[in-house]
Structure formats: C-alpha cells, structure tokens
Structure 1
Amino acid sequence: MQKGTKRNIFVAATYAAVLLLGILLGQNYVNEQGSKPGNTLVPIGLSNNSWKMQQLIDLIAEAYVDSVNIDSVQNGAINHIISHLDPYSSYLIPNEAQRQTEILEGTFEGIGMEYFNLNDSLVIVSLINGAAADKAGFRVGDKLLKIADTAVAGVNVSRERVEKLIRGRRGTALDIHIARDGQELETPIRVIRDQVTVNSIDVAYIISPGVGYLKVRRFGINTADEFRRAVVELKKQGATKLIMDLRDNGGGYFHIAVKIASEFFNDSRLIVYTKGAHEDRHDYHGDESGEFTEGTLAILINENTASASEIVAGAVQDWDRGVIIGRRSYGKGIVQEQFDFSDGSSVNLSIARYFTPLGRSIQKKYSPNWSNMLDYTSMYSGLWALDTLYAHGKTFETGAGKKVYSGGGILPDIHVAQDSNALSLFYQDLIQYSFIEQFVYSRFTKKLPAYSIENFLQGYHLPDNEYRAFVEFVRSEGFVLSDQKSRQLRQLIESDIEALVGRYYFGREAYFKVKNRDDAFVKRSLEYIDNVDKELISP
C-alpha cells in the first residue's frame, strides 16, 4: 500500500452525526465521512457475467415503455451493489462527494455564517472570525430578511434553499437584507464570497493549573498541523499534562490519525497496520518529533468515537502512553479508499482492516440482513449496539502488563457511566425538536450582556425563574413534563442552556468551557491527573 497523497485513504464512522446549532452557511458543523479525491475509475472491460448490468441499462434506455432518467437508474444500481458489501462502503453522487471533501479539507467557498431558524426567522448565531461575513459587518443576532432578491423570512425556506443562495464562486458579491435590533436596515450588506477555513480543533485551553484540554472534532487534512500548534500554545501557557477529547469524533483521514498519534511518542514506533484480501500487511510508523512525548495524557472516548479516533486511542493504550477514559468506542476498524468516476461521483470502497500495534482488531461484529434493505439501522445486526460492556474477544497484554481486548471498539481503562437522564426519551425529544435552542435564541438574544467572558464563565448560572420559564415553554408546545421529570433533568438542561448562552455571547470556546464545568468525563480525568501527581510527589 502506497503512502501519502498517491492513495487517499480515510476512515470514518457511518452513524448519523447531530447538527449542533443549525447549519453553517456554506458548511455544516457536522462530522461526516469523506476523503480527498482519490483514484479515478476508468473502463477496463467486462468479465464473466458483468456484461449483464450494462446490457440491462441499455435495454431500459432503448425499449422501456416510459422515458426514464438513466443516470438515476445507474445510481440506484450502484447503490444496491455497494450496500451488499459492508456497512461502510458507499456511493456518493457528485455534490455529496464534493461536500465530504470540503468538510475534511476544512475549506469551502462561502461567507462563514451560522444561523438558526427561530419561528421562521433566520437568526445569525455565530460568525467565523475573519471570514467574509465577519469582515462585511454582520453581527450575531442579525435576522436575515432577503438573500439577493429572495425573501427568506416568514416563508418557511429550507436549509438547502438557503445554502444554495449563499454558496457561490469565490470573489462574487452577494447582497443580504437584514434586521438589526428590531429594525430593518435601509440598505443591504454586501459580502464578497471567499475561501473559508474551519478549524478541526473545537477548543484548546488551560482547564486547570498545568493541565491543557483539547477537543478534536474530526481528522481533516489540516488537523495534524492545527493539533501541533494548539499543543505548542498550551505548553507555552504552562501545560505539562493533557486531556485530549475524542468524544463524538467520527473519524477522517487515516494518515492524519497516524500523525496525531505519533505526537505522543519520541520514536518511530508502530502506530497501526492494515491488511486485506487484496492488500498485504502495511505498517504505519510515527516520526521521531512528537510534540507531547512526556507528561500525563488522558484521552476521552465514547460510543461515537470511531475509526481514525480509535486508531489514536488504540496506539496510546497499547503502548501504555496514556489512560483512556469514558465508554467503549464505536468499533469501526475498516479502511476505505475513495475512487472517483469521471462525472464527479465516487465510491468509498472498503479495502482493508486496520489493527492496533498489539494486533487488535477493533471492528465491531455484525451480520448482514440483506433482505431488509429499506431499514439501514437494522440491515446489519449488531452494528448499532452502543453497550459499553461486551464479551471480550482475544486478550492482549501491554508492556506494563495491562490487559486489553479485541472484540469491538476500544474498552476504556477508566469507565464513565452513561447519564440515564441524557438517554431519556424526553430529553432526546428536547434535542430533536431544538427546544433548548428555541428558548435561548428567543429569550437571551435581545441584547448582549454587560459582563465579561471571565465573569460569565466563573459566576453565571441559570436563575431559577429562567428554568421555570423553560419548563413552561416546553409545556406550551404540547409536551407533558411532570414536576418530577423536570427536577431529574434540571442539571442537564441548565448546563445545555448555560453553554448555549455562553456560545451566543462569547463564541465557541465559551460553549465548551461552560459544558466542561460539570462534565463527568472531564471531572474523572482531572481526578486521575491529580492522583498521578500525588503519587509522583509521595515519599
């Protein structure tokens, strides 16, 4: 297997990612699978009975009773074939292939604005610093009225329609009419579309004296450089210990995961290896210039930590470099390579399995049920199970004598129990119907606060009357929320509201700083680091 850009290999999860706060205009804040453009597929002749597929397509085109879209017929046929291989191989039509490439490369042509649809009114809730919309003078809280000559307020416009209006070629101008502080501006704001860069590091900051916290959203083409810069900056601020948060990171480029893992070692040791039916074993080693090769390391994982993230966690665990904290990871140990068709569509084809340095396969076992093609979630039995405790597969032993296992996912060294409140159907409904966002953006966006971000982070907690107002809001929407359930969910909901208020007022970093105040994973990590420090200084 060749290295580098000659073959564009990626690994990514296939579970559905949750859109955090709507859509970033021209780019979603969503972790999707994707890869750089890869090898191009060219006709190589038909063999055995493969001619029947083309003959059938030709027959339909020439003799079928009605006119049909042959492209759609071919796309459907390809999808059916690919879906019979495994849960991860996929066929992407041109716009899907382009979107996935943009997401993992972290750049796109747009304006860098995020909105939320509040009562059929599009409210700007975030701007990318230095992007086109920010430079043009838009503000958080502005309401979009017209994009070019198309009304988008009060007309139930779709996200797809808004994105189509916003997206465009770099250097082209776009006029957007807005309302600010309740008043429509007399003239539209003109914005020049440009290349927008989205960092794959959500946040990096000193969470406790000497402890850096760093959350990686995905493994994109620039993630290794962004990660290294973030670690260097944290070390300048005094960090000698690190918490790396890989929760809900669904993967990305294979070679980027290797680079990230190698940052924790000072030699070129084995990080991961791959092999498949048509692929000989290939070992991937790190380099000898890791940026965080010493100091306590804790990596946070959960059931949505997948593929590329599991490569990093597996290498750290196998080499006893750090502690893995959280819940069993997703369990995707299959590598895809992207092959492009000449029309811009592509096939992401599974070509090999990957194994941790000790030889563990973390691929979750599943059995195909191809008779159930219409329901993807039940088509592969066992694939979507999110249990943390499972029957161990083969046992391995690290150099320090710690037992680790194959059998599906990375089993953490320190387990963090699932919050039953977060799993409750009522809380899931709150998320699905965006009730928390609706409440925050309708109640806390009238004017910006008079206090600083430091005061907000240290001292702001949702007042009792605001939580009561939220409960009444939910009930007014027709949801039955008992007083008992309200009390059970209060801490979780208040944390969500406080974090979202912080994000609206002060940006993305504030969101994670607020959420981390009561986060069970983070608390357990800090306890572990504190205990390690005590052991180091004990006589």
Structure 2
Amino acid sequence: MTKRNLNYPIFLGIAVAIGIFIGSNLNFKNKSLLFNNNSNEAKIKRLINYIQYDYVDEVDTDSLLDDAITNMLVKLDPHSVYIPKEELQSITESMQGTFVGIGVSFIIQNDSVAVASVIKDGPSEKAGLQAGDRIIIAGNDTLFGESIIKKAGITKEHKGTYYANRLISDAVMKSLKGQPETEVDIEVFRRKTNQILDFKITRGDVSIKSVPGYYLINSNLGYINVERFARTTYDEFKEALDELISKGMSSLVLDLRGNPGGFMDIANSIIDEFLEDGKLIVFTKNKSGEINKSYATKKGDFENGNVYVLIDGNSASASEIVAGALQDNDKGTIVGRRSFGKGLVQQEMDLGDGSAVRLTTSRYYTPTGRSIQKPYDHNNSNKYQTEYLERIQNGELVSKDSIKVNDTLKYVTPKGKIVYGGGGIIPDVFVPLESINSFRENLYGGLNEFIFKYVDNNREKMNKWELTDFVNNFDSNDEVLNLYIDELDLNYPLAPETRKNLKKYFNAIMARNIFDETGYYMITQKEDPMILKVLELESKGD
C-alpha cells in the first residue's frame, strides 16, 4: 500500500470534521463565532494534534488540511474555492489593480533580464530606467548568467526551456517587489551607451491595467477592451470613454471577450454610464431569500450612444451582468457567442493564516429575473469544467441554431425581445468561431524573442513611428518579416494564407512592443469577424 493510500483515511477524516464545523457555523451572522472555542473546533485541533504527534509517519498537516478544504468546497459548487496563502497575494493584486514594485515589464533573454517597457508614471520611469536596459543586480541579488539560474533553482535538463524562463521570472519578481516605500539599489547595463548605471528606486504602487486598449475604429465608432473588473477598472474605463467621446464617438464597441469577471459593483458602475436613472441593473438573492437590487443612479455619459457588447464562451460573471443588464433593458446589441454561464456571487473570507476561502453567498439575476447560471452536479465537478467541449460537439460555436434553450426559462424584455436563462447570455447577433482562430496560439517559434531583439537593435528608429502611421505602413515591403522567416530556416514555402496571418500577428506584436495593447488591437481587429459584424450593423443603422 502506498503512502498516499495510507493517508487517505486521515484526509477523509479531516474533510468530514471540517465539513461538520463549517456547515454548523456558516449561517451565523457574526463571523467571529467561527473562531469560538466550541466542540467542533476542538475536535479538529485534537485530530490534527494526533496526526502531528502520534501518527506513525511524518505528515505535512498544513498540506493535508489544504487538500481537505479544497475537496470539501468542490462539493458545494464550482465557484466556491480555497485560496492558499502562497497564491492569495497575486490574486489580490490582480483584483485590486495594483502591486508594489519598481514598475517595469521584462523578458528573459539568454539568462539575462531585459526591460521590455517601463510603466508610465511608475517608480522606474521616475528614476530614469529605459526600455532595453539589462537589470544585472537588484539589492543583493545578481540577476544574470549562472547566478540567476541558481537562484531560480533551474536544473540542467530545464535550462533554456519555457519552464526555466518562468522560474527565472518568478525569481526576478521576488527581487524587485517588496514593501511600499522601501528602496532597492538597481544596477543596469545600457546597451546604447555601453554603460553600467546605478539607480536607487523607491518601490511604490504600480498599476495593473484592466482596460489595456481603446481607440476609434472610424470617425464615430469607438472601441474599449475590458479584461476584468478590478478595483481600478471603472476609473480606467471612464478615462477611455471620456477621451473617445471628446473625439466624436457616438457608437461604442465594449469588448468583454475572455473577461472572467470580478467585482460586481465595478460592473454596475460601468453599466450606469449606459442606462437611464432608475433602471434596474441586477439583483441578488441569498440563502434566506433576501433580495438586494442595484439601479442606475445618475446621468450616464453614454445613455444616448449606441453600444455593442462583444462576448464569447469565456465571458463570465460580471461580464455577463453587463451584457444581461443592457440586453434586458433593450440597450444596444450583444454580439458574439453564448457566454460562460456563471450566476453565482462569491464573498472572500479570511481564514486567519494568510489563506482565504471564496464562498458562494448568493445568486444574481438579470433585470427580467433570469438566472444565467449553467447547471452543475455537486458530485461531478469535471462535467461542469468540460461543458465547453459539449458546446463544440453540439455545433453551437458555428451555428446559433445549435444553442440549446429551455423554453421554461423564457423571459421578455420591455420592448418584447425574448431572452433565455439557464446557461449564459445568448447574443442578439451571433458570430461563428473563425476557423483560423487558433493561429495566434501556434505562432512560429521565437517570434517574441525576435521582435524584442529587432526593436532593441533599432530602438532609435522604431521610436520615431507614430501609432496610426505604424499600423498602416510598417514593413510594407515585408523586409523585416522576411528576416524572421529566413531565421526560421524553413525547408518549404509558406502558404499564402499562413503568410498573411503571420504578417498580421508579426506586425501586431511589434506594435505592442513599441506602443501598447492598443497597437496590437488596431492591427489584429482589421479582420476580426466580430468587429466586421459591428461595422456591418452600423452601416445598416441597426
């Protein structure tokens, strides 16, 4: 019998004990009661002590307890999860929209740390770091060559692999991040002047963009991408919205494709910009039947504008609140494919040791009263996670008629449009999945490295480009693209369609490297099926 099997009864016993404890206490309004010295808490402590001091083998009780909590929460619903203390900080930073660091993005190149970009208004920009600088020392840590390999714990067989670069990146982040207002001495090599330079940088809050790009597609149609609903998202969105309105935007593409959700109140604030005062946005219902309604509260800046919301199978939670609120209020047009189908609301609860549990505390409903939560089986969590495969097999990614709807969950909007609950938001205008959609995930090897190296070697020339000019005219004769293709040393010619798509993503990644995500979107979306569908709808006045 393996050691894993020996531990199974212990694992099961802890899971049951914790289940009894949490199940008997979670209904209390006063969360401090969870930590009172009652019989269930004493039972758990006693069991852990028995394992720790009396069990025949050495057992990592912390790990055992983490596994027990994780497996217990799986039995509740797919979105109640345990967050170990090792992961909580990065998750919190992402959702708060900031982290404490020096404010650079970097890539690992030949076991060295190359600054890809310096975050605007961040500590490094203020100190004078530049894109292209190589960070060689941070504090007491040497960050190049064998020293960084050793620090990252890379073995010989992993050297030079993607996995190795991830380990190096994690090691570098530990050296650069720290407590607010602490100083770190940075030593860099600046290639363009062939100098070693010293900087003393005070760590501070660095923004993590959740609205990475926005621009005018044409004179009146604007575009804003929202990647998630973090604490800073509304402010980022409002800045983008105001700028585009000032440039003459009267219609907006709000891109929520791949957006997994986030804070409900932030989503509500964004919806408020589109809906008239008093319109219902969303309501929630908890275990006791208590209903909490959210309404549009003020004059929104885009109440009279036309809005197109782009969604797909990875648009979830708060993204679906936005799409559902606008659809149910007959505002704008939902374009794309059926969304994920998450209608449960979680509350993060601290477990006292740096870890947390994100527990489902209520369900949310769109203004017409529909729940868009897709079905789940408490005893078969795997089926819930693989439901996307069923959508593929059913053909719904290429045909709206293949989307299964439940006529008992039919609802009607104020203007008479029929909408459905029970498994995501079905778009008003369906756009099938394009057959070449996977191209960008299968780019030829070394593309990012080639582009960084090219920009780094030609930085003065590349910095002279203006964004719009770059999007329309860069590498018009394919000179730079051919350098990359030559470096691939292929023994066969590229098919015309393959070369066309390679050219698109080559230029897009180049634009991202020089400018930001906006440049990437402006190039890739020239032939984006959903954007083309919006342009078609606009031309028809729909």
Q: Same fold (TM over 0.5)?
A: yes
Distance 1:260 1:132, change over 3 A: same
Q: Is 1:395 the counterpart of 2:410 in the alignment?
A: yes
Range that drifts further, 486-495 or 96-105: 486-495
Looking at structure 1, the residues matched to 199 and 358 of structure 2 have their Cα atoms a distance apart, in angstroms, of 41
Q: Which residue number corresponds to residue 471 of structure 2?
A: 457
Distance 1:67 1:276, change over 3 A: same
CA deviation string 1:396-436 (max 9, x = no partner) = 22222322222321111122221222236xx53438xx743
**Matched ranges for 1:32-431 at <5 A:** 42-44=34-36, 53-155=44-146, 156=149, 157=152, 158=167, 159-181=169-191, 185-368=195-378, 380-382=385-387, 387=392, 388=397, 389-393=402-406, 394-423=409-438, 428-430=441-443
Looking at structure 1, the residues matched to 129 and 391 of structure 2 have their Cα atoms a distance apart, in angstroms, of 42
Distance 1:491 1:401, change over 3 A: farther
Which SS does the other structure have where 2:145 is aligned? coil
Contact 1:301 1:327 in 2 (8 A): yes
User: Which residue identity is paired with 1:454?
Assistant: T
Looking at structure 1, the residues matched to 458 and 125 of structure 2 have their Cα atoms a distance apart, in angstroms, of 19
Which SS does the other structure have where 1:522 is aligned? helix
User: Which residue identity is paired with 1:43?
Assistant: F
Contact 1:421 1:489 in 2 (8 A): no
Looking at structure 2, the residues matched to 229 and 177 of structure 1 have their Cα atoms a distance apart, in angstroms, of 36
Which SS does the other structure have where 1:493 is aligned? helix
| TM-score, with length taken from structure 1 | 0.81
CA deviation string 1:53-88 (max 9, x = no partner) = 444212102202244443333222212212222221
Contact 1:252 1:308 in 2 (8 A): yes
| TM-score, with length taken from structure 2 | 0.81
User: Which residue identity is paired with 1:153?
Assistant: F
Distance 1:503 1:123, change over 3 A: same
Cα distance, 1:322 vs structure 2: 0.5
Number of residue pairs matched by the alignment: 481
CA deviation string 1:293-345 (max 9, x = no partner) = 01211111122211101100011111110001112212211110111122221
Which SS does the other structure have where 2:231 is aligned? coil
Contact 1:439 1:473 in 2 (8 A): no
Which SS does the other structure have where 2:360 is aligned? strand
CA deviation string 1:452-476 (max 9, x = no partner) = 3332122225644544444454567
Looking at structure 2, the residues matched to 118 and 303 of structure 1 have their Cα atoms a distance apart, in angstroms, of 35
Contact 2:189 2:197 in 1 (8 A): no
Contact 1:327 1:415 in 2 (8 A): yes
Distance 1:337 1:509, change over 3 A: same
User: Which residue identity is paired with 1:459?
Assistant: N
Contact 1:111 1:192 in 2 (8 A): yes
Cα distance, 1:103 vs structure 2: 1.4
Looking at structure 2, the residues matched to 211 and 466 of structure 1 have their Cα atoms a distance apart, in angstroms, of 32
Looking at structure 1, the residues matched to 421 and 475 of structure 2 have their Cα atoms a distance apart, in angstroms, of 43
Cα distance, 1:346 vs structure 2: 0.9
Q: Is 1:512 the counterpart of 2:517 in the alignment?
A: no
Cα distance, 1:193 vs structure 2: 0.9
Structure with larger RCO (C-alpha < 8 A, sep 6+): 1
Distance 1:436 1:366, change over 3 A: farther
Which SS does the other structure have where 2:201 is aligned? strand
Which SS does the other structure have where 2:419 is aligned? strand
Q: Which residue number corresponds to residue 502 of structure 2?
A: 493
Q: Aligned match of 2:512 in 503, 515, 532?
A: 503
Looking at structure 1, the residues matched to 32 and 145 of structure 2 have their Cα atoms a distance apart, in angstroms, of 45
Distance 1:161 1:384, change over 3 A: farther
Higher helix share: 2
Contact 2:273 2:300 in 1 (8 A): yes
CA deviation string 1:90-114 (max 9, x = no partner) = 1112342232222121122111111
Q: Aligned match of 1:445 in 427, 438, 456?
A: 456
Distance 1:309 1:462, change over 3 A: farther
Contact 2:313 2:339 in 1 (8 A): yes
Distance 1:491 1:353, change over 3 A: farther
Looking at structure 2, the residues matched to 40 and 97 of structure 1 have their Cα atoms a distance apart, in angstroms, of 21
Distance 1:183 1:527, change over 3 A: same
Looking at structure 2, the residues matched to 404 and 263 of structure 1 have their Cα atoms a distance apart, in angstroms, of 23
Looking at structure 2, the residues matched to 325 and 162 of structure 1 have their Cα atoms a distance apart, in angstroms, of 41
Distance 1:303 1:41, change over 3 A: farther
Distance 1:410 1:379, change over 3 A: closer
Range that drifts further, 272-281 or 106-115: 272-281
Looking at structure 1, the residues matched to 387 and 191 of structure 2 have their Cα atoms a distance apart, in angstroms, of 52
Looking at structure 2, the residues matched to 92 and 254 of structure 1 have their Cα atoms a distance apart, in angstroms, of 20
CA deviation string 1:376-403 (max 9, x = no partner) = 8667452665543421122222222322
Contact 1:201 1:217 in 2 (8 A): yes
Which SS does the other structure have where 1:283 is aligned? strand
User: Which residue identity is paired with 2:455?
Assistant: F
Which SS does the other structure have where 1:525 is aligned? helix
Distance 1:177 1:50, change over 3 A: closer
Cα distance, 1:219 vs structure 2: 0.9
Give identity over the alignment, percent.
33
What is the Cα-based RMSD across aligned positions, in Å? 2.8
Range that drifts further, 133-142 or 90-99: 90-99
Which SS does the other structure have where 1:445 is aligned? helix
Distance 1:53 1:386, change over 3 A: farther
Distance 1:466 1:280, change over 3 A: same
CA deviation string 1:477-499 (max 9, x = no partner) = xxxx9646x54433333222211
Cα distance, 1:178 vs structure 2: 2.3
Q: Aligned match of 2:539 in 530, 534, 538?
A: 530
Looking at structure 2, the residues matched to 41 and 261 of structure 1 have their Cα atoms a distance apart, in angstroms, of 37
Q: Which structure's CA Rg is the greater one?
A: 2
Which SS does the other structure have where 1:293 is aligned? coil
Distance 1:92 1:146, change over 3 A: same
Cα distance, 1:41 vs structure 2: 7.5
Cα distance, 1:368 vs structure 2: 4.8
Range that drifts further, 209-218 or 385-394: 385-394
Cα distance, 1:229 vs structure 2: 3.1
Cα distance, 1:524 vs structure 2: 1.7
